Structures are given as C-alpha cells and as structure tokens.
Amino acid sequence: MSKHVKKTEIVFDKKTGKNRRKSPITKNEHYRDLLRNTIKNDVKFKYVLNDAWFASTENMYFIKNEIKKDFIMPIKSNRKVALSEKDQSSKHFVGIDSLKPGENTLV
C-alpha cells in the first residue's frame, strides 16, 4: 500500500512568523512510491503520463533508469534543457521557450 501525503509535522515558517503543517514525504517521493508499487504489482505499461506538476529531472531519471520506462510529460516554458549528451556534459542548456513549436526535438 502506498503512502499518502499527509501534513503531520509542524514547522515554523520564517516568512510568515507562524507555524505551518508539513508532510514528512514530498509529492515527488509519493509519486515515485506509486510507480514502484505499480511495478511491484506487475502492472504492464510502457509509458508514464503525468502533468507538469511531476515533471522534475529526478522523476524523469527515475522513470528512465530505475523502472526502465518511457514518459510523456509537459515541461514548463521557463525550464532549460540540453539538446545533446555533449551539451549536457558541458552544461550548455537552452530555454524550452526558444524551441520551435511542432518540431520533434530530443532533449
């Protein structure tokens, strides 16, 4: 059974000067736990489809390298990507908003 994101911890928020509730796990940790359980339960699938809320580098690496699946997810326009492995290793990134709509671009 997967964990649910419940705000059970109380932390002091320096910005507001008040206490607020916080979950012991992040939404992304919960997301990855759900995917692990899907694999553990032997659910057959080729792609993971999610919205931009879960479109993080860590989640993308998890999907490709740990559970060995492909994914489809939107990326916010203010994000930066590498257009090749060489660009990635030399830390040369371009903004998503600079890419042409409708073109297939491997990032």
Residues spanned by the domain of 48? 27-36+44-98
Nearest in space to 59 (alpha carbons), one of 45, 39, 73, 46? 73
Given a cut of 70, is residue 4 above it in pLDDT? no
Is 62 part of a structural domain of the chain? yes
pLDDT score of 59 more than 90: yes
Predicted confidence band of residue 103 (pLDDT cuts 50, 70, 90): confident
Q: Which two tokens stand for residue 18?
A: 């008040």
Tell me, yes or no, whether 6 lies in a domain.
no
Residue 55 domain-assigned (yes or no): yes
Count of domains for the chain? 1
| pLDDT tens-digit readout, 72-99 | 999 888 888 888 889 989 999 998 888 8
Integer Cα distance of 37 and 59 in angstroms: 15
Q: Is residue 22 part of a domain?
A: no
Name the helix (H) or strand (E) containing 39. helix 27-40
> Is residue 1 very low, low, confident or very high in pLDDT (cuts 50, 70, 90)?
very low
